[in-house]
Structure 1
Amino acid sequence: MSTDSKTSLLSYEKQALMDLLTDDCLVVLGEGITYQNILLSYLESYSDPGTLLLAVECPEEMEEWLLERLTLSETAVVPPKKVTSEIHVEKRTDHYLQGGVQFISKRILVIDLLCKRIPTELITGIVFFNAHYVRDTSIETFISRLYRTDNKTGFIKAFSTNPIQLNKVNQAETCMRHLFLPRIHLWPRFHANISECIEKHKCEVVELHIPLTDVMKNLQMCIIDLLHFCMKEVKKHIPSLDSDFFVVENAVGKDYFRSLKKVLNPIWSHLGPNTKQLVQDIKIISQLNNQLLQCSAVRFYEVVHKLKPTGASRSSNVCLWMFTEAFGRLLSLSKERVEQKEAEKIELSPKWEAIQEILSEIKAENKNGPPKNTLFCVSSYATAKQIVKFIKYGEVSTLAEELLSTQRPQKDLQADIPPSEETEDSRTTFGLEESHNIRFLVEKKYTMIQEYLTSLNPTYVILHDPDLFMVRSLEMFRCRRPGKPLRIYFLVYDNSIEEQRYLTQLSEEKKAFEQLIMMKGNMTVYTDQDGREGTNAMLERGHQGLKFKDLESQDSRQNHAKSFPKVVVDMRDFRSSLPSILHKSGMDLIPKTIEIGDYILTPDICIERKSIVDLIGSLASGRLFQQCQAMCNTYKHPMLLIEFDEANGFSLQNYSGVTDAVVTSSLQTQLTLITLHFPKLRMIWSQSEYTTASIFHELKKGKEDPDVGAIETVSKESSIISSEFNHSVVNTLLQLPGVTSKNYFLLARKFANILEISKTSQERLSEVLQNKEEGRALFEFFNQVENKSKPDDKSGGAKNKYAKFKKFKRK
């Protein structure tokens, strides 16, 4: 980027940059208030070989943009770098010592800090993103603790654009405490600097409050009645729930269903199938509101018609709300809009009529001049494709085609399915002719929305679906283009759920910032909150850091001098929060790539850790059987740790589904078979990571630390054996006297199968096993079998008994 990057900052960005340069702080911005230019200017000042700044888990779009701009910057002495797993571990230290700005993932950074691959004391500072997700168990918390323990001079900065989330249950204070941040800087839309900037470069806004048709009003009332019915039924089954969750006004919010599921999670396993179905139905009915306002009459009728119970479904467990009067009216009214079967008589979407007038107005303005770009901001690809057809072919042809498509077989409808929003580029013409100068942008929370808007370069913007993020983004876009006109057509259905949802977004964010401002004014900041003095309680290790006080008491003043017990952790498990809690509880972690197990506590204890989702998937694929077999063959005390969330209710089977019948596919049956097949395997059930940490401490008491060299050897051998030998034959071999998990591969490599072993002399077996006692035990076992065979059995007893076994080698 050129040297004028700093001078191009807006007034509020200059002030925010000064705040960043002054304090270790948390910066909270309102939705749509961009900060990439602030960050770019800040990183430019640290693009020097004498500094090392780490940008941790930067959003992908922003990371690519920053890498490009910093590389082209004239003020950056050292180009930015990206630390990936492709850089060999032996070269990581040299890579860090090159200095400058380096982008890195959370997992790689925490492992390199533990392995001392990075010179922690030389790190100038760390920048975190999406700070509203930080918890006591987050990897960001782990990184900050490791960093502050060995570096008392470097800085820590954090960004968030979600004030609503930060305002929940003191989340802002929690984030600041765990990231060692003594200051918080708030930048809402109503901040004086931001308001002044927007007022100085105001957009021309044309608000079009479009009235709903009479039929649409009645359909909306039917949907609200159905929501009320389902909520009333759920309330009957769960009377203990807060009544606020069963207010229809709250149900129209975007995050309502997610909030409801979160509240129901602790008792979800106790709910019957009817109650669970009602909860899912609330989501389906809520989505009908969006489809009513965004789809054409034909598409909405198609959606509603698919919900209608068929003759086959009437005999099964059908939702009660489908037999209510409200649903009957919903079906009849949606049909009424299209029942004429003539495109000319089908009810036209009111917004389509408004779009016609807007495009005519734009065309008239540009009649005698060069054409200017028009941008449609829509909520989905389906809406965009529908508008494209409407603009190109008119409403009659569009509705006629939709009528035909509803009568085609389902396989023919696949062509009308919009592309995935995850893979489709948001900047697309959707087949429009270039003469239209119209582009579409699907409303998503783009990190680099300003770059998209700059590339699209619109003069006119039609907000088809009101969205707070897009409104703010367009205001910022206008501020960055002084003197260039920007007209926004804001379309919203009057007195509709769409309007209510937008107003709720505004009020919730305003309320969140007001409460954060109050919190900032009343917040107690301790003198050691930044962790630089070394007395911060967050830096202490031992039982003080755990929720459960059942660990052996430790003197926190001697924590740094004390030798903590060691645990080997599979590097793939650093994506979870358990390693952070183990370290905080007073264990030293040794990251290694291990083939057998996830955690090695002692030379004899190996633990495979599974969440409930992982457990079900591993049982279904058969992988868990192989993992248990490998642990039992290698370690004296193999253990399977099954961990579930303490905040969520859990049971292996819903109470209403418990029967006397044995079902082989059920979770209980499969776990029982695992237990019977591996008698020395122990299962540990844990309700949280904190409980797991307590269990690990109990298992480690009075025992040796694991031998890292032996673990690496076992991992290498297991990877070779898993690809070289047949597991079923090896498992049989391990049942024989004198054969152990430490010597079975010696036999498997020297002999073709068990039959060949049975014919070998005692001296040869002792030589192969490198142990006389083990060789004698194995030889006597086969001799006893042969002695019991009949004299006239010319084929030999051992041959008859073991000839059926396959070869050890896979090939």
Structure 2
Amino acid sequence: MSRMLEYERQLLLDMVGVNCLLISAAGLDIERVMESLLRAYLDPRNLVLVVGTGNEQELRLANALGVPPSTQKCSYDEGGVVFVTARVLVVDALRDRVPLANVTGVVMLRAHAILAQEAFALRLFRQRNPTGFICAVSDAPSRFSSHNVRKVMRTIFCDNLLLWPRFHSVVVSALSGVTPEVVELHVKMTQSMLKIQTALLELLSYCVRELRRLNPGLLDELNVEEALASPRTLQRLLDPVWHQLGPKSRQLIADAKTLRTLLRSLCQSDSTSFLAQLAPLRTAEYAQRSSGWLLLPAAESLFVLAKGRDGNDKEICPKWSALADVLEEEAKDDGENKILILAEERRTCRQLMRYLTKDEASSEDDQTFFKKNNCLVFLEPLVSPLEPLLAAFSPRIIILYDANVVAVRQLEVFQARNPEPRLRVYFVVFGGSVEEQLYLTALRREKDAFEALVREKASLGAGEVSVDVGVESAKHGIVLVDVREFRSELPNLLHQKEVRVEPITLKVGNLIFIFKINLVNNQIAIQMGREEREREYYLFYIHDVYKLEVSQSAARLKAAVGGAGLAEFFPDGGWPFSSAASVADNILS
């Protein structure tokens, strides 16, 4: 393991044994800090639980620490560091399989994506262990608004917020010692590419205007810049109002995503691949279901220009020519250099391989390197973290074919950790393009997010975000829950209301009769009468409302006296029916 940087050492000291929420800038390799933190608790006398990891991240950390991942059975009694999914931890805690009172602490990664299962697990831990630490980390500051960061801090029961942006003085000092030699290549787009980009932006603007016209007051924050953001970012913006959007609005959103994909492809692919992506959009089937953008003059210009680029005299992507020129220049050196070309998609790597080798490697699609004079050239897709890839190839020259904030930061960190040799990084980007705008927007959003978080931290009073974790009790009875249903939020909500939750394993078709509780598959019937004339209430738990027609639900509710229907959705997903009034009419009729 290479040496730790000053900001990494400072972070490690700030987090050891402390309740905290750490939010760092993307690309600072916080995973490395977490590995060092977990390594300090490998002693069997400790027991640290790790939740909230992604599959690949968990495998990397588990392999580095020499412990089994959550997919393998492990014993809590052995101590050390244990990777476990939140659902399994909740079930084990409710069944008293894990000694929560003896747990040293809980580490949660990807705190920006905290779900009901993680919240349930942390509350159980804090109820049974008031002194163990909870450490949550995230490298996605833009996912935290002022409201959301307070909510997350309440969920993890901590009032210590650690902020480490790229402009933090310690980070700046650590990364400014030895920096890569950066060569920016602002490539000019061809006239046809510029016209295609203008047409696509005009069509995207049409979709945004129509969405705002059809949904006044709902999508006022939506603009072309938001529509150009990543699909996940756009979906998070739309989720709270998704249930209120009609079919045409949803089609407009789908068309906006298609146009965004085309804009990115224009900067990454060759003319033939771009034209192939347009072909399905000219079919009668797509024209019938589209939102109408195909009828605009800009759409006709788009198809004509794309076809013209792929005519007899095919247009070569200017980035490809610039890349070939860089390789030609670097190959003139007498030394044997390794050159690493990084692109966002493997498909782009294959296209570049065929172009740079003059189709010599076309028969071997899996080939990722070739020889250029004395240089060995590797083509790899961007992965995170980059350090294992850089350590494996030991390149002297790196070419970033696609602008990526995380990749730039990781190259800075790698160079600071490994001062020799000094890297030469070529940053290839289309000047004045959507690609450049997206890169600058990502930087601005992160900076704005951190500035808002700094203000929020300054306004937090002592104990303002602390909450009472409550005590475990069966004050309002006991509910038996199938272990598969712990993926949902309902068991968590029941536990918050001081209902004792008992996990059990049911077989499909089981019919269980218990005093005052009837359970048939996912339908729960509870006798809730407390008056002189007891009346039977039915509580329907619908795991996937799309698989149960409203008419079926209404028919079942009419058969019960005082029936109630309960459907679970994502917290920000809203109600997916056309309107609440239509559901009420169906039930009452």
TM-score (normalised: structure 2): 0.85
C-alpha distance in 2 between matches for 1:682 and 1:357: 76
- Alignment match, 2:332: 364
Q: Say if 2:89 is the partner of 1:124.
A: no
1:393-404 maps to which residues of 2 (within 5 A)? 393=358
1:55-74 maps to which residues of 2 (within 5 A)? 55-71=50-66
C-alpha distance in 2 between matches for 1:527 and 1:307: 53
- Alignment match, 1:252: 228
**Structure 2 contact 344–402 (Cα < 8 Å) conserved:** yes
C-alpha distance in 1 between matches for 2:513 and 2:122: 25
- Alignment match, 1:214: 191
The structure where helix makes up a greater share of residues is 1
- Alignment match, 1:200: 177
384-393 vs 14-23, which moves further: 14-23
Q: Say if 2:295 is the partner of 1:323.
A: yes
| Aligned-residue offset at 1:457 | 2.1
- Alignment match, 1:443: 382
| Aligned-residue offset at 1:528 | 9.0
Q: Say if 2:167 is the partner of 1:176.
A: no
C-alpha distance in 1 between matches for 2:6 and 2:160: 21
SS at match of 1:139: helix
SS at match of 2:221: helix
C-alpha distance in 2 between matches for 1:187 and 1:602: 55
- Alignment match, 2:90: 110
| Aligned-residue offset at 1:199 | 0.9
Q: Say if 2:491 is the partner of 1:515.
A: no
From the superposition, tell whether residues 481 and 322 of structure 1 become closer, same or farther in structure 2 (CA, over 3 Å): same
**Structure 2 contact 478–499 (Cα < 8 Å) conserved:** yes
- Alignment match, 1:573: 485
What per-residue deviation string (whole Å, max 9, x for no partner) do you get for residues 468-509 of structure 1?
111111111111211222111101111111111000000000
SS at match of 2:306: helix
Alignment-mate amino acid for residue 53 of structure 2: C
| Aligned-residue offset at 1:45 | 2.3
- Alignment match, 2:400: 463
From the superposition, tell whether residues 110 and 389 of structure 1 become closer, same or farther in structure 2 (CA, over 3 Å): same
Alignment-mate amino acid for residue 295 of structure 2: F
SS at match of 1:27: strand
SS at match of 2:171: helix
Alignment-mate amino acid for residue 291 of structure 1: S
SS at match of 2:294: helix
**Structure 1 contact 607–640 (Cα < 8 Å) conserved:** no
**Structure 2 contact 369–376 (Cα < 8 Å) conserved:** no
**Structure 1 contact 637–680 (Cα < 8 Å) conserved:** yes
- Alignment match, 1:766: none
C-alpha distance in 2 between matches for 1:525 and 1:607: 48
C-alpha distance in 1 between matches for 2:499 and 2:106: 25
Q: How many residues align?
A: 558
What per-residue deviation string (whole Å, max 9, x for no partner) do you get for residues 787-810 of structure 1?
xxxxxxxxxxxxxxxxxxxxxxxx
| Aligned-residue offset at 1:198 | 1.2
- Alignment match, 1:333: 305
1:529-678 maps to which residues of 2 (within 5 A)? 529=466, 536-537=467-468, 539-540=469-470, 563-595=475-507, 596=509, 602=515, 604-606=517-519, 608-609=521-522, 640-642=540-542, 667=549
- Alignment match, 1:685: 565
C-alpha distance in 1 between matches for 2:94 and 2:127: 12
| Aligned-residue offset at 1:338 | 2.5
- Among 119, 128, 132, the alignment partner of 1:141 is 119
Alignment-mate amino acid for residue 493 of structure 2: I
What per-residue deviation string (whole Å, max 9, x for no partner) do you get for residues 602-641 of structure 1?
454115448xxxxxxxxxxxxxxxx99xxxxxxx998643
| Aligned-residue offset at 1:185 | 1.2
From the superposition, tell whether residues 278 and 481 of structure 1 become closer, same or farther in structure 2 (CA, over 3 Å): same
Alignment-mate amino acid for residue 518 of structure 2: I
Alignment-mate amino acid for residue 368 of structure 2: F
- Alignment match, 1:430: 368
- Alignment match, 1:354: 322
- Alignment match, 2:586: none
Unaligned runs of 5+ in 1: 72-79, 88-94, 402-414, 419-427, 530-535, 542-558, 611-626, 629-635, 645-649, 653-664, 692-811
**Structure 1 contact 25–182 (Cα < 8 Å) conserved:** yes
Alignment-mate amino acid for residue 128 of structure 2: D
1:452-491 maps to which residues of 2 (within 5 A)? 452-491=389-428
Alignment-mate amino acid for residue 189 of structure 1: R
C-alpha distance in 1 between matches for 2:329 and 2:69: 49
C-alpha distance in 2 between matches for 1:495 and 1:378: 20
SS at match of 2:293: helix
From the superposition, tell whether residues 601 and 347 of structure 1 become closer, same or farther in structure 2 (CA, over 3 Å): farther
What per-residue deviation string (whole Å, max 9, x for no partner) do you get for residues 236-280 of structure 1?
3223334331x3333222246424532541313xx1x44432222
SS at match of 1:386: helix
From the superposition, tell whether residues 606 and 35 of structure 1 become closer, same or farther in structure 2 (CA, over 3 Å): same
**Structure 2 contact 490–568 (Cα < 8 Å) conserved:** no
From the superposition, tell whether residues 42 and 182 of structure 1 become closer, same or farther in structure 2 (CA, over 3 Å): same
- Alignment match, 2:343: 378
| Aligned-residue offset at 1:292 | 1.3
Alignment-mate amino acid for residue 262 of structure 1: D
What per-residue deviation string (whole Å, max 9, x for no partner) do you get for residues 374-395 of structure 1?
111112122111100001117x
**Structure 1 contact 127–158 (Cα < 8 Å) conserved:** yes
SS at match of 1:157: strand
**Structure 1 contact 223–285 (Cα < 8 Å) conserved:** yes
C-alpha distance in 2 between matches for 1:598 and 1:229: 55
C-alpha distance in 2 between matches for 1:150 and 1:320: 58
From the superposition, tell whether residues 690 and 476 of structure 1 become closer, same or farther in structure 2 (CA, over 3 Å): closer
**Structure 1 contact 309–322 (Cα < 8 Å) conserved:** no
From the superposition, tell whether residues 252 and 58 of structure 1 become closer, same or farther in structure 2 (CA, over 3 Å): closer
- Among 37, 42, 47, the alignment partner of 2:32 is 37
SS at match of 2:176: helix
C-alpha distance in 2 between matches for 1:527 and 1:675: 45
- Alignment match, 2:271: 297
SS at match of 1:364: coil
Name the % identity: 28
C-alpha distance in 2 between matches for 1:355 and 1:689: 48
SS at match of 1:231: helix
From the superposition, tell whether residues 680 and 594 of structure 1 become closer, same or farther in structure 2 (CA, over 3 Å): farther
| Aligned-residue offset at 1:431 | 6.5
597-606 vs 233-242, which moves further: 597-606
**Structure 2 contact 52–111 (Cα < 8 Å) conserved:** no
- Alignment match, 1:101: 81
**Structure 2 contact 343–349 (Cα < 8 Å) conserved:** yes
- Alignment match, 2:441: 504
SS at match of 2:461: coil
| Aligned-residue offset at 1:51 | 1.6
SS at match of 1:462: strand
TM-score (normalised: structure 1): 0.63
- Alignment match, 1:235: 212
C-alpha distance in 1 between matches for 2:55 and 2:514: 37
**Structure 2 contact 339–395 (Cα < 8 Å) conserved:** yes
